[in-house]
Structures are given as structure tokens and as C-alpha cells.
Amino acid sequence: MSTTSELDVVMLGLKGTGKTYFLTALDVVLDDHSDPDRLEHIGMADNLSYLQPLREQWLRGDELGRTSLQTQQGHQFILRHAASGTRVNLYVPDLAGETFERYFDTRTFPEEFCATLKSSSGLLLFLHSESEGRPELLEAPSLMDEQAASNTSPTSSTGSNVPPWSMEQASRQCKVVDLLQFVEEVGSVKPVKVAVILSAWDVVERMRKELANDYPNDPDKLLALRWPLLNQFLATRSDLFTFRVFGVSARGGGSTREEIERIKSISNASDRVRIVDGGHSSNDLSRPIRWILGLLNDHG
Amino acid sequence: MIDGDESNAAPIEAEEVLEAGPAKDRVFHSGEKLALEECGRIMYARPTCLVVCAGSGDSGKTTFIARIREMFAEGSFKEFHFAGSLTLCAFERVSWLATITSGSGRPVTERSHIREKDEFFHLKARSVCDGRLRSDLLLNDLPGEAIASALQHKDYFDELPSVLRADHLTLFLDSQRLADFGERHAERDRAKQFLSRLQTVKHNCDSLDVTIVFSRWDYITRDVQRSAHEAYAETIEQDYRVRFGSAFHSLQFFRVAARPGLSQDRTDDAIQSIFARWLADPDGIALKALRHPSPKRDFSSFGLR
């Protein structure tokens, strides 16, 4: 008789990186029982007050609202991996991106979040596919102020009109790497498994037709191109982290009227979803979770 | 496991775990430059390479350090990959005025203040070539005022523990001053005097690696009298080699333009070569061996023990 494991997976990401979309689309996709190698629902959580309204919005093609800053949301999934006979009760908390920004600003994690991290099986780290991790440096002559450029001093005093640097000015890449360094300091089990989710992957697939160099059709390459500091940090600290990169379109398209109509016209709602990693492409959003839980058959 | 990994080493946190207020939040490193005590904890835990960047005010020391982190952040560093930093916010701060977001209109750098003389940037990097994690790097951006004071008063070196403990000294000669016939001799002399004074106050100078950086080199390459200025720099190089070539463990010269003016070539390769020089010892074995015979090289230099 198989036993049921109680597991947590933590979603970490700055605001607007698609955490709630992922959670909601995952809930829909888990209803698919066609492939024993996927994770699938085998029960319903007692409390659906958080996810059920989101699920209905998602199915209607509506945009999901921002996650509340006031209370910790999350959802309990009751799952089975039929191929291995594994049963999992998986809890995934859903913290607002603003919460993670605040953790970075204040250089703190609440003890409750530290406890969740310590007991979790791994991290889902969310980045938006269109976001730029690299610093936007003043290099192109067209971006420089000619009058200012004629000044020969390489340094500046704070007397100028330029606002001083503050925590919120930090680049996304800096914030994410520092948050991972916090995680590393908290975590008791090393290496921490990090599934990097590049959200809104449909944008990449659309943009690469015109800008193939800026939008490589491979999540690993996009991460290395746009988020080099993060990519190098994860790759060089294999003693602290193991990671795998996934391109995910959890909504299935944009939010224009035409896009919403197109999304709604797809007869099987879970077919809106797309996940890409390595040579794999499907709608199986359980892949990052299965990778974290050690249930991913790479040949599948 | 790759050699050089430090799975069993102490975590790289620099701050002690503190309880902040009733919510019992876990407090992490501030992200700002490290104080001596924080550096001491890192040095005690792991092999560490301490680099002092010294030179006149406005000679481009901070810009040089900022550019190193920028190259990691934009993915253009060739020989090393980023492996962590406790001072990412400090790095972001010094690059702020060089970003489009700041609205500064010109890539400049906030100059360091004398109060920052005992503060350090922190970096960890892994060699692309051999895949090994290098010693923690502590970078001290010594303000120009500190150099001026140290030249005037020998005793002031006692207030510069970073210099006394340094494994590498990277000394900046400002090319804008070298291209100014009224300033160039003073700039040359200042660096020479500093190195001479250093020999008298620092133990184990023979283990110190010295790098001379002709910084803001674009001021020479775009000057109408470029060849004369280049020849003057060459003269300085020859003079210093004669004076100091055997006084230190090594002495090398580089020409660097970390943020050149419009249409000027940046010298990222030279900056990367200097960085590679800092981390040339993959295991920090030489550093550890050097520390033990001489307490002056260890924490006593910081006045911590």
C-alpha cells in the first residue's frame, strides 16, 4: 500500500511574474488523467476558497487580480503520480510579489516563511520572459546628455537632481540573487532544488519571429542571455542549488480582446497552457513539481 | 563535487542572526559594504583575498570596481562566473549614476567618502577555465583623502588596516592628470611616495602583489599629444620597475578605461586580467601560508584580536 507524503513547494518571484497564473493553471491541468507519468488530482482540498474563484476567472479568460498582501494565500493539492504509485499532499503558498520586494528591502524573512523554506522540497522561481535582468547602462551615445557628457569629472556629488539610489532602484537580477542568498542562509538541506519558471513564454514564441537573437527559443538560453548574474550564480553554486529552467505560458496568451477571444475558443481549456524545457513541449505544468519531487522522467 | 567547493564551510552570511522586533524576523546581510568585523568573520572562515584599490581622488577606483560587477551582471565576464556577493546593494549603488533609470544623462560614479575607508565590497567567483571556486574577494576602495593623509603622516597607516593586511594593492594613476603637464609629475610622485612609504610600514611586502593601473586611459588616447603622454606613462613604468620591481611579490602595469567617453574603446579585457590576477591562487594556499608566520597579516592587523 502506498503512503502519502506531505510536501511543500515554495513559489518565489517579484511582482508580475505569473505565480498565481501558474498555480491556477496547474490546478486545471492536474484534472487531466490521460498520462500516468503526470501528476493528477485524486481528491479535492477541503478549503478551495482561494483557488476556486481564480480557477473560474482563468477559465473565463479574465485577467487575475493581484495577490493580497494582507494574508498568506495558498492551496493544498491532493495528488498522485500513477506511474510510480506516489501520493502527495502538496501545499503551495502564494505570496504576493510585493512581499518578496519587501523582504529584499528590509533584508528579512519572517520566521514563518523561514520554517516553510526549511520544510519545503524546493523552489519555483518565477521570472517574466520579457523582463530584463541585465543593468540598463548609459552606453549608447544617443542616450547620453551631451551637455552632461562634456563634463570631465568621472564622479558626481549628491548635489545633482538625480535621485539617490535606494533599495527599490535595485535591478531585478540583484533582488532575485539576494533573495536566493537569503534562502541559502535559511535552508537546512543543500542543494536546494530551484525550478526556474520563465513565465509568459507565449511572448517569446511570438517575438522570436522578428527578434530571434533577443528571444532564443530555449529557456536555458534566455535565462543565460537576460539574467546572466542569476544564471551564473545558480550554475556556479551547485553545492547550494540545483536548477532547471522551464518556459511556461500559464495563461495561453495576452490580454487584448482578440487574444481573450482566441484563448476562450480553445475547446480544451488546459490546451491553452504550454510548458517548454529542453526538447520537451506540452501542457503538463506538473513537470517542474515532478522535477523537484524527483518524479520527472527526462525521457518523457 | 568540484574541487574548491565549500559545502562544509560556514555559510557566507556576514550578519549575525538577529531578532528584529516582535515579529521575530530573520535578518540577513545588509547588502551594503562590509565593516572590518564582518570581513574578519569571513577571513576566519575561509581563504580570502584582500585587495586595496588606492589612488588620488577621482582617479576612477570606484568606477573600476563598479565595472567589474557590471560585467558580471551583463554576462560579459569571460574568465570568471559570478558565485555570490554579500554586497550586491553596494555594487548597485555605485553603478546607479551610470544607469538609464537614474536619469543622470552621463555615466558617472558617486565618489567614495573618507568614512568608507574601512569598508569592503565582497565577491565570490568561479573560474571558467578550471571550474574551481576561488577565495572570497574583499575589495577596499580607499578614498583619495586617505592616501593624502598617509603620505603626510606615517602613523596614519595604523588607521589603514586594509593596507597592512592587503594581499593585492592596485594603485591608480589618473591619466587625466598624466595628460596635464602641470599635474603629471605630482601624480607620478604621489604614487611613488606611497609605494616607498608602504615598504617601510607593511610587513611582508615581498608577498604583496602590486598592480599599477593607468586609469581613465581614454584621456590619453584621445589627447592631441597622445604619443607624448604614452611615452610619459612608459617612463613611469620603467622607473617603477627599477625602484620597486624587487620590493614586492609582483609588479604589473595595465592601461584601463572603465567608462571611456563617447566613441572611445573600453578596456574590459584589461579589467578582467586584473581581476584574474587577484584570484590567481585557486586555493588561497599561499594566502593561508602567509598568514600564519606573521600575525600582522591576520586579524591583529584589524585590531580585532
pLDDT for B293 beyond 70: no
Pairwise CA distance, residues B149 & A35, whole Å: 74
Q: How confident is the model at residue B296 (pLDDT cuts 50, 70, 90)?
A: very low
- A224–B20 CB contact, under 8 Å: no
Q: How confident is the model at residue B141 (pLDDT cuts 50, 70, 90)?
A: very high
The answer to whether residues B271 and B135 touch, using CB atoms and an 8 Å cutoff, is no
Q: Is B260 on the interface with A (CB under 8 A)?
A: no
Pairwise CA distance, residues A55 & B190, whole Å: 70
Q: Is B18 on the interface with A (CB under 8 A)?
A: no
On chain A, the residues whose CB falls within 8 A of the CB of B126 are: 236
Q: Is B86 on the interface with A (CB under 8 A)?
A: yes
pTM of this structure? 0.88
Higher pLDDT, B19 or B137: B137
Q: Is B23 on the interface with A (CB under 8 A)?
A: yes
Residues near A284 by beta carbon (within 8 Å), at least 6 away in sequence: A29, A32, A35, A38, A275
Q: Distance of CA B33 to CAs A225, B66, B117, Å? A: 28, 13, 11
Q: How confident is the model at residue B16 (pLDDT cuts 50, 70, 90)?
A: very low
The answer to whether residues B139 and B167 touch, using CB atoms and an 8 Å cutoff, is no
Strand, coil or helix: what is B182? coil
pLDDT of residue A256: 85
CA atoms in the 13 A half-sphere facing the CB of B258: 29
Based on C-alpha coordinates, what's the Rg of chain A? 21
pLDDT of residue B297: 44
- In sequence order, what DSSP letters do the residues of B194-236 get, joined into one string? HHHHHHHH-TTGGG-EEEEEEESTHHHHTSTTHHHHHHHHHHH
- A232–B6 CB contact, under 8 Å: no
Q: What is the pLDDT of residues B203-229, one digit of tens each?
A: 788 899 999 999 999 999 989 999 999
Largest CA distance in chain A: 77
* Short-list A111, A182, A117, A237, CA closest to B88: A182
pLDDT of residue B201: 86
pLDDT of residue A101: 95
pLDDT of residue B116: 79
pLDDT for B18 beyond 70: no
Residue from A109, A138, A167, A183 whose CB has the most chain B CBs within 10 Å, to mutate? A138
Name the residue among B97, B126, B262 with its Cβ closest to that of A156: B97
ipTM of the shown complex: 0.89
The answer to whether residues B71 and B271 touch, using CB atoms and an 8 Å cutoff, is yes
Q: Is A182 on the interface with B (CB under 8 A)?
A: yes
Q: Is B11 on the interface with A (CB under 8 A)?
A: yes
pLDDT of residue B262: 64
Q: What is the pLDDT of residues A155-198, one digit of tens each?
A: 554 446 788 888 988 999 999 999 999 999 997 688 999 999 99
The answer to whether residues B40 and B114 touch, using CB atoms and an 8 Å cutoff, is no
Series of mean pLDDT values for 10-residue runs along chain A (300 residues): 82 94 94 90 88 91 76 85 92 92 96 92 95 76 52 52 86 96 87 96 87 86 96 96 97 86 89 93 95 81
Where residue A150 falls (left for φ over 0; alpha for ψ -120 to 50; beta otherwise) is: alpha
Largest CA distance in chain B: 67
Of A174-178, A204-208, B141-145, B244-248, the poorest mean pLDDT is in A204-208
Name the residue among B60, B82, B86 with its Cβ closest to that of A232: B82
pLDDT of residue B3: 40
Strand partners, A194: A123, A243
pLDDT over 70 percentage in chain B: 82
Give residues 178 to 197 of B whose Cβ lies within 8 Å of A: none
pLDDT of residue A152: 52
Q: How confident is the model at residue B29 (pLDDT cuts 50, 70, 90)?
A: very high
Q: How confident is the model at residue B69 (pLDDT cuts 50, 70, 90)?
A: very high
Residue from A166, A181, A186 whose CB has the most chain B CBs within 10 Å, to mutate? A181
CA atoms in the 13 A half-sphere facing the CB of A168: 5
Burial pattern B171-203, b for ≥16 Cβ within 10 A else e, equals bbbbbbbbbeeeebeebbebbbebbebbeebbe
Of A56-60, A147-151, B73-77, B124-128, the poorest mean pLDDT is in A147-151
Sign of CA dihedral A101, A106, A112, A114: positive
- Orientation of helix A111-119 relative to helix A172-186, angle to 10°: 70
